[in-house]
Amino acid sequence: MATPPLHELGAAQAATLLARRELKAEDLVRACLDRVAARDGTIHAFVHLDADAALAQARALDAGPIRGPLHGLPLAVKDLFDTADLPTAYGSAVYAGHRPAADAASVAMCREAGAVLVGKTVTTEFAYFTPGPTANPHNPRHTPGGSSSGSAAAVADRMVPLALGTQTAGSIIRPAAYCGVVGYKPGLGRVMSAGVKSLSPTLDVVGAFGRSVADAALLGAVLTGDLRLLDDHAHGTLRIGLFPSPSWPQADADTQRAWEIATSALARHSDTCQDVAMPQNFDELIQLQKDVMTFEMARSLSHERLHHRAALSPQLVALLDAGMAISGATHQAHLQRTADWRLRIDSLFERHDVLLTPSTTGVAPEGLGATGDPLFCRSWSLLGLPAVHLPFATGAQGLPVGLQLVGRLGEDHKLLAAARRIHERLTR
């Protein structure tokens, strides 16, 4: 069997070779940097790159003991995470050239586990909707999605095997879907958010991109410290709940086709697929997610709102103004309803191990002026549930499409085990 070019190696496979010293970190990092050099003039995934530092880190790892599960793996980091040795601008001109004093907790933990930080990737402005320059690797006239635009694109384009992202509305699952990679949004509270620009603490989650479930889970295990995420397979029969969601009428022909492919493929196996009884008023979660995010972003970005208004996009200014018009009393009622819904949804998982549901309305829209709609992600972000995007189909113009699996709060390990099995069945 021909060996694939090094930059195409998946994270888990590369990690095994690196741990056995059958692959040098330096060679892997150099191959990835070469790929970046060849492609990033078109894709614009990176906002900052430090090739020399990455190679030096790789050589140091090659010369020392195995550091941890990410030993020698090239990692790209969304520019919403603080880094001590690379500028961090949060996608905004306000912070051009900003140099944080420390690495974000998740960045430091990845380095502790042996990862090599290759560079910072494009985020939309403060992870909201105003896009950066990143193009979709499958067709550069289409958006890669956002807000973790560069991280998803860099992994999809084989520039790096792994990348860090964040999700507040749909910022991991949506770009993963548009770029055709696996995105893993951990359950709320599992990954420490220190050093990541705080937007909406009720919703913000740090997560991972990879090209397979195993790859994303490897990074997830380091982020959460939960080694159960590395377990190979789900045990026993899976009870898959089919949850097209109340927004199903907005799913276009490509998402509908992905749904057909998945449900008919899964029906051929011993796992059971059952329709989920739709909770009454589930559609109210979309507006509730918007309200919670709007209130919290307006206050979290108070410094920028008060001192840098002219440097913010009109879309962001409109969000912040809308947020300041929501009273704290109203927000408290929203938080209470969110808590009630989180309890109510938990009971669904007595009958279903995981829920299968759309990630996006369809493939990546054309144009780089917008990043698509997080419609199918908002409810799960509000509920704080762990989610994984699975890419497995092709839609219009050869662009990727897939679906997401959603797990129970606290059961990220079961979700990822189920995702491996299901992804295998859908891509075999």
Backbone φ and ψ of 406, nearest 5°:
-120, 135
Distance from chain centroid for Cα 9? 20
The amino acid that residue 39 corresponds to is R
Interacting residues of 246 by C-beta distance below 8 A, sequence separation 6+ = 278, 282, 283
Q: Which of 7, 142, 331, 421 binds its own copies (CB under 8 A)?
A: 331
Contact call for residues 81 and 199 (beta carbons, < 8 A): no
One character per residue 172-211, x = contact with its own copies (rule: CB under 8 A): -----------------xx-xxxx-xxx-xx---------
Q: Which part of the chain contacts its own copies (CB under 8 A), choosing from 63-71, 281-289, 389-397, 407-415?
A: 407-415
In total, the chain counts a number of residues equal to: 428
| Residue 219 is a binding residue for its own copies (CB under 8 A) | no
Min. distance of Cβ 119 from its own copies in angstroms?
19
Cβ closest to its own copies, residue 336 vs residue 397:
336
Residues tagged active-site: 78, 147, 171
> Which residues touch 38 (CB under 8 Å, ≥6 apart)?
none
CA distance 147 to 395: 22
Count of beta carbons in the 10 Å neighbourhood of residue 17: 15
Contact in structure between 240 and 348 (CB atoms under 8 Å): no
Among 249, 328, 369, 398, binds its own copies (CB under 8 A): 328
> Smallest distance, Å, CB 413 to its own copies?
8
CA-to-CA dists, residue 110 to 74, 114, 120, 417, angstroms: 10, 6, 14, 22
Please, which residue, 79 or 103, has the CB nearer to its own copies? 103
- Of residues 285-324, which lie at the interface with its own copies (CB under 8 A)? 295-296, 299-307
- Burial of 280 (C-beta count, 10 Å sphere; 0-12/13-18/19+): exposed
If one asks whether residue 250 binds its own copies (CB under 8 A), the answer comes out as no
Which is nearer to its own copies, 41 or 328 (by Cβ)?
328
Residue 232 CA to residue 228 CA, distance in Å, equals 9
# binding residues, its own copies (CB under 8 A): 53
By CB under 8 A, name the one of 46, 81, 95, 259 that touches its own copies: 95
Contact region with its own copies (CB under 8 A), list: 72-80, 147-155, 238-246, 406-414: 406-414
Q: Residue 251: how many CB atoms within 10 A of its CB?
A: 20
Closest separation in Å from C-beta 379 to its own copies: 19
Query: Which residues would be at the binding site for its own copies (CB under 8 A)?
Result: 84, 95, 98, 101-105, 107-109, 111-112, 189-190, 192-195, 197-199, 201-202, 221, 224-228, 295-296, 299-307, 326-329, 331-332, 335-336, 343, 410, 412-413
